[in-house]
Amino acid sequence: MSLRGIFRTVIELVAFCLWLNAGAQSIAVTEVNFNSDSTTTSGDWFELYNYGSTTISLANWVFKDDNNQHQFVFPATVQLAPGARLVVVNDSQKFKNRHPFISNYIGTFNFGLGNDGDQVRLYDAQGNQMVFFEYADSLPWHPAADGSGRTLELRSVALNPNDPNSWFVGCMFGSPGMPFTPCSEQIIFSEINYNPNPLLNAGEWVEVYNRGPTYVNLSTWSFKDSKESNAFYLPQNLQLPPQGRVVLVGDTTLFDAQHPGTPNRYGNFNFNLSNDGELIRLFDFTGTLRFSMVYNDAGDWPKGPDGGSYTLEFSDTTWNVNNPKAWFQGCPGGSPGYAYDPDCITAIPNPSSSSTLMQLLPNGVLDVSIPAGEHLLLRLIRTDGAVLHSRLLTTGQHQIPILHLSSGIYFIQASGSAGMQTIKLMR
């Protein structure tokens, strides 16, 4: 182990011992907002929680960060009842502006929590250390809590708060003064194609989904990655209905070749989504952040979307989008603009054509019907995205035997001027 690694290990052991020593009273830091998004800032704050059965007097307790000169003394009247939470804020006005219905807060401390890491230390009136917690803004701490409008939430008071695995990324703007509940943001990202396979290259794209019960006006909303200068603006008069979807596309030419006739697709955004994962965001017409998440290609994140021709699909709209287990490997090429079909069977007709492109007959023959004046490209695709065979078909009726295929799962995709259809074949 390097000297730096040994030094870091010693620091972690010291932090763990300090946490054990500070556990005499049943009080914990359960949420931290250390680096707000600039358009939605609520200042720096942290949440205290009394998980015990008796009231804790916080009279004349002292909060310090990693600088002993930075001190905030609690008022002599502060009591924390069993099960109660208290938010300690460094800017009461900013906090109130963002969270007007939260009243269980105190402040202000006249120093901030460090954007690149800091400590939260609490001492009782006799100078005994009661809470010790140290965080950072670099891996393995989650980047989605660093300047993207989200907070760090403690998984359980039984866990060591100095371990980054004890924390998860909360909802947009946090849940100060309240226990965590599933996130309820109405507009979310629901599918991501960030590293397309050249064999099914539709370019990069993201799907935006309205999971709420009301229309949302997306007029001139902007889509950004981690760079402020990388921005794509949605068109005027764009209303997204409940359960509606729009697709934001990096290259409409590539996209339309793979997904002709996709409704509500808009492009081109002139920046690339990172193949290694990054922050992506949505801002409303006033420039205010409305949604953010960080996807990745490492750890528990699905592997197929990373160059394997699949997409990231959001599995359950009640889950936290920054949890990799909330995402799964979608269909080859994805299902932009449509709900996920577990059979990966999609039929996306061209608005000018109502024709059924192909169907599997009981005798093991693929029947393909192409209207007059139209054509399509027929491809046989393996589950890893490899194209095993392709054929250009023109107007007429075509019957293609498929019983010669080896056992396995395949996708047959027809795309062209007549529309696009994909069917899953199991042999």
CATH code for position 410? 2.60.40.3080
State whether 260 and 359 are in the same domain: no
State whether 159 and 232 are in the same domain: no
**How far is it, in rounded angstroms, from Cα 346 to Cα 340?**
9
Q: Residue 335: which of 273, 254, 343, 277 has the closest Cα?
A: 343
Confidence of residue 418 (pLDDT cuts 50, 70, 90): low
Assess whether pLDDT exceeds 70 at residue 346.
Answer: no
Confidence of residue 356 (pLDDT cuts 50, 70, 90): low
Confidence of residue 18 (pLDDT cuts 50, 70, 90): very low
- The residue ranking higher by pLDDT, 424 or 211, is 211
Number of domains in the chain: 3
State whether 225 and 287 are in the same domain: yes
What residue type is 250 in one-letter code? G
Which residues on adjacent β-strands are paired with residue 366? 360, 400
Q: For the segment 247-259, what is each residue's pLDDT rounded down to a tens digit? A: 999 999 999 988 8
Q: For the segment 264-319, what is each residue's pLDDT rounded down to a tens digit? A: 999 999 999 999 999 999 999 999 999 999 999 999 999 999 998 899 999 876 67
pLDDT of residue 3: 44
**How far is it, in rounded angstroms, from Cα 80 to Cα 84?**
6
How many CA atoms, within 13 angstroms, populate the side-chain half-sphere of residue 74? 25
CATH code for position 290? 2.60.40.1260
**How far is it, in rounded angstroms, from Cα 427 to Cα 413?**
16
Tell me if residue 248 falls in helix, strand or coil: strand
Query: Is residue 208 in some structural domain?
Result: yes
State whether 24 and 166 are in the same domain: yes
Confidence of residue 360 (pLDDT cuts 50, 70, 90): confident
- The residue ranking higher by pLDDT, 284 or 387, is 284
- End-to-end Cα spacing for the chain: 52
Mean pLDDT for all residues in the chain: 89
Q: State how beta strands 279-283 and 289-294 pair.
A: antiparallel
pLDDT of residue 353: 46
Among the candidates 172, 205, 235, a domain finishes at 172
Q: By the 8 A CB rule, do 291 and 188 touch?
A: yes
State whether 197 and 280 are in the same domain: yes
State whether 221 and 124 are in the same domain: no
Percent of all residues in the chain with a pLDDT value above 90, rounded to a whole number: 67
State whether 249 and 117 are in the same domain: no
Mean pLDDT of 321-349: 83
State whether 44 and 101 are in the same domain: yes
* Placement of tokens 């763990």 in the chain: 16
State whether 11 and 144 are in the same domain: yes
pLDDT of residue 427: 63
State whether 144 and 283 are in the same domain: no
Tell me if residue 66 falls in helix, strand or coil: coil
Domain extent for 247:
187-329
State whether 91 and 238 are in the same domain: no
Phi, psi for 3 (deg, rounded to 5) = -60, -40
Query: Is residue 351 in some structural domain?
Result: yes
